[in-house]
């Protein structure tokens, strides 16, 4: 006789975090502070603070409710930071004016 206590699989767990987050938090965007009611609730999305969609702790500590716009911005910031290459300062090899030096030398070498 085999009685299996592990009859339930938790395969629906991953897709259920949005509903959990919506139950847990007020329906307000964490960035712009707009409130989303009724149909507009679809515009409110669950952002993962550490950007790891597999990290879904039950206490919701990795979730943040953001509207589509702010969510986009949040991820855009990451991209911007990644591609921000600040190599200004090269190509400054301007010709040194030899004339100026020559004039200066003349002035300096005045006294015999």
* Binding residues for Zn ion (CB under 5 A): 29, 31-32, 47, 67, 70
Task: Output the smallest distance, CB 68 to Zn ion, in A.
Answer: 8
The nearer residue to Zn ion, 75 or 103, going by C-beta atoms, is: 75
Backbone angles phi, psi at 57, to 5 degrees: -65, 150
Closer CB to Zn ion, 54 or 87, in the complex: 54
Nearer to Zn ion, 18 or 31 (CB): 31
Closest CA to 51 of 23, 75, 82: 75
What does each C-alpha distance from 78 to 61, 70, 73, 81 come to in angstroms?
A: 20, 13, 9, 5
Query: For residue 78, which of 104, 98, 48, 57 has the smallest C-alpha distance?
Result: 48
Round to whole Å and give the CA distance between 104 and 85. 40
Shortest separation between residue 82's beta carbon and Zn ion, angstroms: 15
Least distance in angstroms from the C-beta of 21 to Zn ion: 12
Residue (15 or 97) nearer to Zn ion, CB: 15
CB 11 to Zn ion: min, Å: 23
Residue 67, token pair as written in the block: 């509207």
């Amino acid at each position: 006789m085999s009685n299996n206590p592990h009859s339930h699989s938790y395969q629906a767990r991953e897709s259920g975090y949005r509903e959990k987050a919506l139950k847990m938090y007020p329906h307000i965007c964490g960035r712009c502070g707009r409130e989303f009611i009724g149909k507009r609730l679809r515009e409110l999305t669950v952002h993962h603070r550490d950007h790891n969609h597999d990290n879904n702790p039950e206490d919701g500590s990795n979730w943040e409710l953001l509207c589509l716009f702010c969510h986009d911005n949040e991820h855009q910031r990451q991209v911007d930071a990644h591609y921000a290459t600040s190599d200004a300062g090269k190509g400054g090899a301007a010709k040194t004016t030899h004339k100026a030096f020559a004039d200066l030398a003349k002035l300096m070498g005045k006294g015999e």
